[in-house]
Amino acid sequence: MTFVELFERLDSTTKTSAKVNAIVEYLQYADEKEKLLGIAVLMGYKPKRPVKTSDLRLWAADRLAIPLWLLEESYYVVGDLAETLSLIVDQRQASRPFNIQNILEDLIEMQDNTFDQRKEKIEAYWSTFSSTALFLFNKLLTGNFRVGVSKKLVIKALGQHLHMEAAVVEHRLMGKWDPFAETMESLFHQALLAEKYFMPYPFFLAYPVDSDFFKTAAIDDWLIEPKLDGIRGQIIVRKNEVFVWSRGEDLMTDKFVEFQQLHTLLPDGTVLDGEILPWKNGSPLEFQLMQTRIGRKKLSKRNLEEVPLVMVCYDVLEWQSQDIRSWPLAERRALLADTLARYPVGNILLLSENLEFPNWESAESFRQTARQYGAEGLMLKRKDSIYEVGRKRGSWWKWKTDPMTVDGVLIYAQAGHGRRANLFTDYTFAVWDGEQLVPFAKAYSGLTDKEILEVDRWVKRNTKEKFGPVRSVKPELVFELAFEGIGLSTRHKSGVALRFPRIVRWRKDKLAAEANHKQDLLTLIESFK
Amino acid sequence: MTLLTVNENGLYCKQGDFYIDPWRPVKLALITHGHSDHMRWGMGHYICHEHTVPLLKLRLGEEQSAQGVSYGEEFEINGVTLSFHPAGHIIGSAQIRLVYQGEVWVFTGDYKLENDGLSEPFELVSCDHFISECTFGLPIYHFPKTLEVYADINSWWAANAEEGFNTILYGYSLGKAQNILTHLDTSLGEVFLHGAVANVNEALSEVGYQFPGMRLGSDTNFSNMKGAVIVAPPSASGTPWLRKFKPYREGMCSGWMQLRGSRRRRSMDRGFVLSDHCDWQQLNKAVIATGAKHIYLTHGYESNFARWINEQYGLHATVLNTLYRPDMEGEDS
Ligand SMILES: [Zn+2]
Ligand SMILES: [Zn+2]
């Protein structure tokens, strides 16, 4: 299978298993160098872009003798620049095999070429590639090779191909590696893999609690903690090294630099379980800030000062190199509290709060207002529970607050990208401020594919004005939005912003006049102060 | 002189007092072809190509008053001379030519220049005023040769059959479905038809068309079905109706399949770029070849295409706001 065929197979399915199979098959047949480069590209490796996209647009328009505005209109319809360029320049003549190594080397070399040399090389590729090969070339050229394949999925396939555990493969591919400097042998040499001291324990996960639970459970048997909204993680200190794994079992040590010094502060052979969150001046910051920080390629000193991270620890799984997951929770908890107090980790490792309630009714009233305390509900854990594997019913439960909802009127729509190019899928919603509608949230998820088509058709027929890609529409459709938090903000004209807004349902039963008012949102904010 | 204008009912000829492809009920309607955005219910009397008549009766009811004309036959309404000419879009599709006091107008309805091997091929009609659709009026639309696409479809079918899969091909029940059926290599296996497709085939048999394939129904033996082709309208995808065909693979046949976004949105195993409309090059060719000095554009990327032919060829191009709508979901495309 060639890389082009691999891409076509990956692109024609949404099933993870089919994607993994396709990659495994590709790995069987590709030669060693191409294999490594193929993997690197799938995992996001890209050479520096050798030319500006504005030049590419000009050259493509020239080739078809069309004005630039027509190319831009086409781009707006397609939603992807590499694809637009391909459709415009494709002469349906494929005369050169798709050799990923040659292409990458050419792209790297081009950085030292003159402008005319670059143009000549790129145009040569354009006239000898067609269809998918041409599209892939343009993807590599424009440097946004995202093809619906996660890093995790590639790792899984590599694991199957090499007969290795996925976590081991991931550890080997940690950090930055140069596919031109490495070989399959140098990366996955057996001797390097003998030890697996970097591996986390499988996480124990809680189910949502059901109402039957409260009929029989005695509150004194249960440890109750606020359920914080961060990234579940394990911190591993072994062999004088630190590893931080997230619940998705991604190795994230690089991103969470705060914890990298822990091997100098904690005894060797310690594994902690907890929630990683942005934290400043004694309370959590917005979750979104941490997401943005994780997304950054380079972390500046300022980023670290603005969004410092901590782990709020709720469990210890290994102590003095001994697996203690079978100890009762109460004992593990006592050891954890003692450890965090004894070692100088106070600014990065915090102890999860133990909430005491006289009965379930008072726990319930706390849960309903949990957001005021920066929590999204409660965790209930049996004091004598062992640390189990995976999602199990019985000894750990999560008890979340209900999401808040608001009815907003659709006022702007914008076409989506990629899979949803051509369709109006990004919506802006407004609430009433007197006679006026003021925007307060954007949302683009929650509708079924069928509803999306229906809204899309409606938008096309009820457009009032077009501003570039955005259309203002008649204020008629009402949608119920759910969200996890609300605050004052200058981002929207209403002066209010929601956290994680998503569409719960299309309220076809409501008229625009029945939507919520700005005052309703302000009242909500007030209630959290 | 203006022979055709758009009003709230549709495309209107004042001199002849009739409409072409109207969207609201009127007394007299000339119909270019049988797709639902062009042939609507509620007109006092219909005039269409003779092969469109059975489709009209199927879709709008036996009781409709409809009159069929043949290609090239001239007739007159209130002093306007009219004739229907092949549009190459689907069976019975026509361009309508209007002549009044020496001035010639042509409305294309939907059309394509590429010969699909089934519908009467497009006839170039010279005119002064040319009203053209431009569903695919952007340079990104460049359709592959139809015969190559059918070869791809047949080899995909053969490969699926070999692996024990049934092959489901989606295409609009009028037009695309018959094109597919005409080009399937029936030596490869059995062919079955969704009811909507079978209904259209039956109606067309009244005017002499024959297509392969058996209607699916309560008497169909599904357990023996292996390596067969099922031709169905796009609306059947994602419905429980498909369960009986397991294991199967799905392929969509539509001009929209040219775009990766549309292909992925439908989550098909295969997308075949197969259209009954003009692509960019065909549109450019047609607009120039008619010799018309005035061009009017309907459904599609009409404002972009109008600006382009204005700037490129110095032609006078106007956008007509009609209710003909190319369905983005692959119906009639
Ligand atoms: Zn049509
Ligand atoms: Zn049409």
Closest Cα of chain B to A449: distance in Å?
Answer: 9
Contact by Cβ (8 Å): A439, A411: yes
Closest Cα of chain B to A420: distance in Å?
Answer: 6
Best probe of the B interface among A64, A72, A74, by most B CBs < 10 A, is A74
Class of domain B5-141+277-319 (CATH, top level) = alpha beta
Instruction: Write out the H or E segment, with its range, that includes residue A101.
Output: helix A100-110
Contact B139 A418 (CB under 8 A): no
Q: Which residues of B239-265 are buried (b: 16+ CB within 10 A; e: fewer)?
A: eeebeebeebbbbbbbbbbbbbbbbbb
Instruction: Write the DSSP string, A214-229.
Output: HHH--GGGEEEEE---
| Res. A191: pLDDT tops 60 | no
Q: How far apart are CA B136 and CA B277, in angstroms?
A: 7
Contact by Cβ (8 Å): A11, A23: no
Closest Cα of chain B to A476: distance in Å?
Answer: 21
Instruction: Write out the H or E segment, with its range, that includes residue B10.
Output: strand B10-13
Contact A423 B258 (CB under 8 A): no
For residue B261, give the nearest of A418, A453, A456 by CB distance. A418
Distance, CA B30 to ligand 2 centroid (Å)? 14
Supply the pLDDT for residue A510: 82
A291-331 pLDDT, tens digit each: 888 888 788 888 889 999 999 999 999 999 898 999 999 99
Mean pLDDT, rounded, for A418-440: 84
B283-301 pLDDT, tens digit each: 999 999 999 999 999 988 8
B301-329 pLDDT, tens digit each: 889 999 999 999 999 999 998 877 655 43
A449-468 pLDDT, tens digit each: 888 888 998 998 888 888 77
Supply the pLDDT for residue A349: 96
Q: Is B166 or A43 the better-scoring residue by pLDDT?
A: B166
pLDDT-wise least confident of A280-289, B11-20, B295-304: A280-289
Question: What CA dihedral angle connects A44, A50, A56 and A59, to 10 degrees?
Answer: -140
Closest Cα of chain A to B103: distance in Å?
Answer: 33
The reply to whether A280 belongs to the active site is no
Distance, CA A413 to ligand 2 centroid (Å)? 25
| One-letter amino acid for residue A295 of the chain | G
| Res. B22: pLDDT tops 50 | yes
For residue A84, give the nearest of B140, B270, B307 by CB distance. B140
Q: How far apart are CA A276 and CA A311, in angstroms?
A: 4
Structure-block tokens of residue B259: 């775009």
A87 touches chain B (CB under 8 A): yes
Supply the pLDDT for residue A50: 92
pLDDT-wise least confident of A195-204, B172-181, B204-213: A195-204
Split at pLDDT 50, 70, 90, the class of A421 is low
| One-letter amino acid for residue B16 of the chain | G
Q: Residue B208: left if φ>0, alpha if ψ -120 to 50, beta else—which one?
A: left
| Res. A491: pLDDT tops 90 | no
Contact by Cβ (8 Å): A91, A127: yes
Pinpoint the residues of chain B covered by CATH 3.40.50.10890: 146-273
Q: How far is CA A477 from CA A3, A438, A474, A499, A511, in A?
A: 46, 15, 8, 22, 7
Supply the pLDDT for residue A126: 96
**Which one-letter DSSP state was computed for residue B323?**
-
Mean pLDDT, rounded, for A394-407: 87
A80 touches chain B (CB under 8 A): yes
Mean pLDDT, rounded, for A117-135: 95
| One-letter amino acid for residue A84 of the chain | T
For residue A79, give the nearest of B139, B261, B328 by CB distance. B261
B145 touches chain A (CB under 8 A): no
Number of H helices, E strands in chain A: 19, 22
Supply the pLDDT for residue A186: 76
- Return contacts of A104-113, CB within 8 angstroms, 24+ apart: A104/A37, A104/A41, A104/A47, A104/A140, A104/A180, A107/A47, A107/A50, A107/A140, A107/A141, A108/A47, A108/A48, A110/A50, A110/A51, A111/A47, A111/A48, A111/A50, A113/A50
Chain B residue numbers touching A449 (CB-CB < 8 A): 265
Contact by Cβ (8 Å): B34, B56: yes
Supply the pLDDT for residue B329: 37
Structure-block tokens of residue A434: 């007197």
Q: Is B67 or A468 the better-scoring residue by pLDDT?
A: B67
A364 touches chain B (CB under 8 A): no
Mean pLDDT, rounded, for A434-442: 91
B269 touches chain A (CB under 8 A): yes
Closest Cα of chain A to B268: distance in Å?
Answer: 7
Instruction: Classify burial at A91, counting beta carbons within 10 Å of its beta carbon; exposed 0-12, middle 13-18, buried 19 or more.
Output: middle
Q: Is A22 or A249 the better-scoring residue by pLDDT?
A: A22
Which one from A227, A255, A381, A518 is the annotated catalytic residue? A227
pTM score of the predicted model: 0.68
Closest Cα of chain A to B309: distance in Å?
Answer: 11
B52 touches chain A (CB under 8 A): no
Domain B146-273 fold is Rossmann fold (3.40.50)
For residue B138, give the nearest of A73, A83, A135 by CB distance. A73
Contact B261 A456 (CB under 8 A): no
Please report which ligand is nearest the Cα atom of B299.
2
Percent residues over pLDDT 70 in chain A: 96
Supply the pLDDT for residue A175: 65
Which domains, from first to last, does chain A contain? 3-142 (1.10.3260.10), 204-400 (3.30.470.30), 404-527 (2.40.50.140)
Return the top range by mean pLDDT from A196-210, A244-258, B229-243: B229-243
Contact A420 B261 (CB under 8 A): yes
Supply the pLDDT for residue B331: 46
Best probe of the A interface among B135, B265, B312, B313, by most A CBs < 10 A, is B265
B139 touches chain A (CB under 8 A): yes
| Res. A192: pLDDT tops 70 | no
Supply the pLDDT for residue A236: 94
Contact A11 B261 (CB under 8 A): no
A224-242 pLDDT, tens digit each: 999 998 899 999 999 899 9
B231-276 pLDDT, tens digit each: 999 989 888 899 999 999 999 999 989 998 888 777 788 999 999 9
Q: How far apart are CA B80 and CA B82, in angstroms?
A: 6
Mean pLDDT, rounded, for B167-196: 96
B95 touches chain A (CB under 8 A): no
Q: What does pLDDT average to over chain B?
A: 93
Percent residues over pLDDT 70 in chain B: 97
Contact by Cβ (8 Å): B233, B254: no
Residue of B nearest to A423 (CA): B328
Contact B260 A66 (CB under 8 A): no
Helix, strand, coil shares, percent, chain B, to 5: 25, 25, 45
Chain B residue numbers touching A135 (CB-CB < 8 A): 260
Contact by Cβ (8 Å): A225, A367: no
Split at pLDDT 50, 70, 90, the class of A147 is confident
Contact by Cβ (8 Å): A224, A354: yes
Cβ contacts below 8 Å, chain A against chain B, sum to: 74
B226 touches chain A (CB under 8 A): no
- The yes/no answer to whether this complex scores an ipTM above 0.90 is yes
For residue A12, give the nearest of B138, B142, B270 by CB distance. B270
A234 touches chain B (CB under 8 A): no
Q: How far apart are CA A112 and CA A471, in angstroms?
A: 43
Phi/psi of residue B65, each to 5°? -90, 110
The residues, any chain, with a CB within 8 Å of residue A32's CB and separated by 6 or more, are A183, A184
Contact by Cβ (8 Å): B249, B168: yes
Residue closest to A379 by CA, chosen among A273, A300, A460:
A273
Pinpoint the residues of chain B covered by CATH 3.60.15.10: 5-141+277-319
Chain A residue numbers touching B305 (CB-CB < 8 A): none
Contact B262 A422 (CB under 8 A): yes
Residue of B nearest to A91 (CA): B142
Supply the pLDDT for residue B9: 95
Distance, CA B327 to ligand 1 centroid (Å)? 10
For residue A78, give the nearest of B140, B144, B269 by CB distance. B140
Q: What does pLDDT average to over chain A?
A: 88
For residue A87, give the nearest of B142, B301, B308 by CB distance. B142
Contact A419 B139 (CB under 8 A): no
Supply the pLDDT for residue B328: 40
Chain A residue numbers touching B307 (CB-CB < 8 A): 69
A428 touches chain B (CB under 8 A): no
A418 touches chain B (CB under 8 A): yes
Supply the pLDDT for residue A20: 95
- Alpha carbon A4 to its chain centroid, in Å, reads 27
Q: How far apart are CA A393 and CA A213, in angstroms?
A: 11
Closest Cα of chain A to B299: distance in Å?
Answer: 13
B30-49 pLDDT, tens digit each: 999 999 989 999 999 999 99
**Which one-letter DSSP state was computed for residue A187?**
H
A33-55 pLDDT, tens digit each: 888 999 999 988 888 899 999 99
B259 touches chain A (CB under 8 A): yes
Chain B residue numbers touching A421 (CB-CB < 8 A): 259, 261-262
Supply the pLDDT for residue B326: 56
Chain A residue numbers touching B260 (CB-CB < 8 A): 11, 80, 83, 135, 418
Closest Cα of chain A to B116: distance in Å?
Answer: 20
Three-state helix/strand/coil letters over A113-181 = CCHHHHHHHHHHHHHHCCHHHHHHHHHHHHCCCCCCCCHHHHHHHHHHHHCCCHHHHHHHCCCCCCCCC
Supply the pLDDT for residue A529: 53
